[in-house]
Chains A and B, each alone.
Chain A
Amino acid sequence: MSIEVKGVNKNFGDFVALEDIDLHIPTGRLTALLGPSGGGKSTLLRIIAGLETADTGTVTIEGVEATHLPARKRNVGFVFQHYAAFKHMTVAKNVAFGLEIRKRPKAEVRKRVEELLELVHLSQFAHRLPSQLSGGQRQRMALARALAVEPNVLLLDEPFGALDAKVRKELRDWLRRLHDEVHVTTVLVTHDQEEALEVADQIVVINDGRVEQIGTPDELYDRPANDFVMSFLGPVTTLGGQLVRPHDIDLSDDDKVAGSVPGVITRMVRIGFEVRLHVRTDTDPDVHVTMTRTHARGLETGAKVWLVPTKGALTVPALDSPEPAAAG
């Protein structure tokens, strides 16, 4: 009992959006589909929801073969990036919509709407119109609306993408707590690795229409399958032909450590508690190093230093490009 995606392919004209996707999404867990924009993760979510049809392959939701079911018969809750609010209806009416078209008794609808508005902390806004709510409130309303019909699965397509950074963080926390209360199988699409790492039980990294890796946040961070996964899950830099995380580099003022690479500090930027260094070496492009302010004491631009990956730090051979697109 879960979502099973088997052999799904999807092309838009010449563009390959999804290629041979096989995926198992466990019941009751929160799974994040993580990847860069245009990588196919939203398309996959829309195929699960029935808003898009796959060219080949099957989708099974909670044991029911759903490949050819229209969206309205799949019993999935879908939350859109731009809220998709019913603008002419009040918040309460928005939430009630799914129940009303199922012709549930009025008293039951009223009770359920009250419960849900309580759950998403919008009780006092029940009679407002969506246009009178903030972005975060609108998205909570959309979530309540999706949950109202007691869906088998809840699908969230970049739900916090249109919100500002602070609200996004709050809602992310709140979503995790909500999921712990409601336990509905949830799939969250996001391009924000921090969001995925913080919220999800399981992360599916999708790039160029293919699944790169599936695992828990820890597995992905500690044992990335390849350079793409590693560079997508956080900043990386190249040192001695290896990808390494900027905070996993040790600096010393002599060459005692075997294999250390000499360089000159060309730039120092302080961001709060963190100091970011750019070090020019002979072999690599500028190496990025981050450290706490305490560790950076005594360092200055122009100083000669030796760099080496911290003992036990994760390194991955830099295969494709000398400077991978670092995310985040």
Chain B
Amino acid sequence: MLWFSLLVLIPLCAVVVTAAEGGWDTFWTTITNGQTAAAIRLTVTAAAVVTVVNVVVGPMIAWVLVRDRFWGKGALELLIDIPFALPTIVAGLVLLSLYGHDSPLGIDVANMPSSVYLAYLFVTLPFVVRMVQPVLEQLELDVEEAAASLGASRFTTFRRIILPSLTPAIAAGAALSFARGVSEYGSLVLLSGNLPFKTEVTSVRILSSVENNNLAGAAAVATVLLVISLLVIVLLDVLQRRVAVRD
């Protein structure tokens, strides 16, 4: 247990220490630098928006997978996991060939901010679905029947009985999906074109800082991301507890 804690904590501390080495001024200049700030803004906004989309769509997909029977369900199950299985740079290649300049679908988002959203959506799709699915499978049908016999409509049953049971799983999936979005690199680096102020995300920004031998700067940006991720996870946890207490 201690070993695993150390395994996680040491690199985290190293990042913060490296960031601190440059002193507060360096830290502040780095993160208020226009290009960096724009990258952070894009990353966080995109990750947040994508997480919201996942929170809405994820449980729906899980619901269909658990409750409905249809032809090709097995294939869909497999499809959901593809973003997990694909190496991200391969995912990036796939996205580039599908939505790049030579898009066979006629959708060209290359070098546009929307490409970042698209890549995030692609790689974070499975998180909420896969967190919610087992919980939904565990839900007993007789609980819903009990609600119905007490006079509840389908909607009331969903809102008062099913949704509260799913909330912890949705929150956990959302946290994972947000964290993954913030840290994503491979899948968007090809499609987005990494244009400063437009499509450059923090992970790309960090890499270029490192390439320019600006380790303190890279660590500063990384620290900001770390704090944001931590905040989001704590926020979702608090939200989940609130919901649990309220009912």
Residues of A within 8 A of B (CB): 49-51, 70-78, 80, 82, 84-89, 93, 97-98, 101-102, 142, 145-146, 148-149
Contact = CB atoms under 8 A, between A and B. Distances in A.
B142 A82 contact: yes
Given A82-B140, A101-B156, A88 B247 contact: yes
B156 to A, nearest CB: 6
Q: Which 5 A-B pairs have the closest CB atoms?
A: A98-B150, A84-B146, A78-B149, A84-B142, A71-B148
Nearest to B143: A84
Contact of B145 (A73, A80, A101, A102): A80
Given A72-B150, A73-B151, 9 more contacts: A71-B148, A71-B149, A72-B153, A77-B150, A78-B146, A84-B146, A145-B146, A146-B150, A149-B150
B118 interface: no
Interface of B: 140, 142-143, 145-153, 156, 160-161, 164-165, 244, 247
A283 B122 CA distance: 78
B159 to A, nearest CB: 10
A223 to B, nearest CB: 36
A51 B146 CA distance: 10
B140 A77 contact: no
Instruction: Classify the interface of chain B: helix, strand, loop or mixed.
Output: helix
Contacts of A148: 150
Nearest to B151: A72
Contacts of B156: 101
A117 B32 CA distance: 61
A79 to B, nearest CB: 9
Nearest to A46: B145
A97 B150 contact: yes
Nearest to A52: B145
B148 A72 contact: yes
A90 to B, nearest CB: 8
Contacts of A142: 146
28 contacts: A51-B149, A71-B149, A72-B149, A72-B152, A72-B153, A73-B151, A74-B149, A76-B149, A80-B146, A82-B142, A84-B140, A84-B146, A85-B143, A86-B161, A87-B143, A88-B244, A89-B247, A97-B147, A98-B151, A101-B151, A101-B156, A101-B160, A102-B151, A142-B146, A145-B150, A146-B149, A146-B150, A149-B151
A186 to B, nearest CB: 14
Contacts of A73: 151
A88 B169 CA distance: 14
Contact of B165 (A71, A78, A88): A88
A88 B145 contact: no
B152 A101 contact: yes
A85 B161 CA distance: 10
A148 B146 CA distance: 13
B161 to A, nearest CB: 6
Contacts of B164: 88
A127 to B, nearest CB: 12
Contacts of B140: 82, 84
A84 B141 CA distance: 8
A320 to B, nearest CB: 36
Nearest to A145: B150
Contacts of B165: 87-88
Contact of A70 (B146, B148, B150, B160): B148
Contacts of A93: 247
Given A84-B142, A84-B143, A88-B164, A77 B149 contact: yes
Nearest to A85: B143
A50 B145 CA distance: 10
B171 to A, nearest CB: 14
A80 B143 CA distance: 9
Nearest to A89: B247
B213 to A, nearest CB: 53
Nearest to B246: A88
